[in-house]
A and B are shown apart, each in its own frame.
Chain A
């Protein structure tokens, strides 16, 4: 019936997908936010292609970052309220493995659709076609890092009044390097800077780093919040 840690992680992952799927409005909120913000910019700045092209990498990345930040509150909050998180602490498997599975599911439902939808919005922002591949690549590397890092303050602020605002305040300084390299990678391949490969490899390095410590740190934070 069970298959060790991996089996348990798989079960948590599928459970999250199922729950988020049935509560799809919350999942859609981040995506809708991303679409709305990037749609408003061409309206506000004007349809001038040159101007849009300059700001496009920054706008797309800032919108993606804020959309991810918005979705962080849903990562643990409902499981905290209904006691599922408490039960997860009583699991015979390492909590960090369960947390990693939760984060992975969360990313599949928020970060991944965002990255997949970005080419459409890039066209709207007059981003050159040659940069679209880099945009998707940078978001695919960057958004999981954002979710991983964001899980730590999300876990730490459980049960705190005004936790949502606190999460944004705690997480934004940590997000800046990813934002800089992400936007820079896109700008570079749009022909405004250095080669984008270097930025993308740095994003990859950030992802590897976050994968190694974020699940562990957020499970420690969960134990503190639930004490």
Chain B
């Protein structure tokens, strides 16, 4: 089997004076996805933020294509797309402008994915292209945030509750987006309390790495 593209070993994270989880290890190969599970307050968001380099873990190392992400710095962030609790959408700009700017600011030369029109089409927001993003509903904003994944075309997707505020049909169509991403050799880490159907996704129980109960 090939070397894992993304490897985490001995990871520990602390919030305040509380150790959230310790000695956590996981591996992802090209085309693999993982569904990180666990009850509220366990540190799933903290884990995802540490995995994409937004916050620094107290212990452990994270390697991308064999190199430590701290050494890669921007060469790592150039390959990760993160969708957090916040949508990262500027309300004063239209849906189209939000995506167009994401494409300009966040992609390196020659690495652009879909155009904003195609991406909006895929998430069913084509009709909203010229509407200011602040007039969109919660679910539409969420879909716009996910459309950014298509514009950026990065190999590793880190998704924190991507399906909040989405209706059942959207959940189905967006989980198929993750499926397509995997089929194209992409990696995905998903935290979700909502059930979604995605063949080939592995479950990862965070509870195993938490010493103390809440």
Q: How many residues of B contact A (CB 8 A)?
A: 36
Whether A83 contacts B88 by the Cβ 8 Å rule is: yes
Q: How far is the CB of B119 from chain A (nearest CB, A)?
A: 13
Q: B54 — which chain A residues lie within 8 A by C-beta?
A: 86, 89-90, 226-227
Residue-wise interface mask of B (94-131) relative to A, using a CB-CB cutoff of 8 A (1 in contact, 0 not): 00010001111111110110000000000000000000
Q: Which listed residue (B52, B75, B93, B103) contacts A1, Cβ 8 A?
A: B103
Q: Which of A22, A81, A83, A98 contacts B92 (CB 8 A)?
A: A22
Could you tell me if B92 and A92 are in contact, using CB atoms closer than 8 angstroms?
no
Evaluate contact between B103 and A227: CB separation under 8 angstroms: no
Report how many A-B pairs have Cβ atoms within 8 Å: 94
With a CB–CB cut-off of 8 A, which chain B residues contact A93?
A: 74, 105
A2-B112, A18-B92, A227-B55 known; A87 vs B107 contact (CB < 8 Å): no
Q: Nearest Cβ in chain A — how far from B124, in angstroms?
A: 22
Interface size on A, residues (CB 8 A): 30
Task: Pick the interface stretch among A8-16, A159-167, A178-186.
Answer: A8-16
Q: Are B105 and A86 in contact (CB under 8 A)?
A: no
B52, B53, B80, B92: most-surrounded residue (chain A CB, <10 A) = B92
Which residues of A are at the interface with B, using a C-beta cutoff of 8 A? 1-4, 7-8, 11-12, 15, 18-19, 22-23, 79, 81-84, 86-94, 98, 226-227
Q: B residues bordering A, Cβ < 8 Å?
A: 52-56, 74-75, 77-78, 80-82, 84-93, 97, 101-109, 111-112, 132, 148
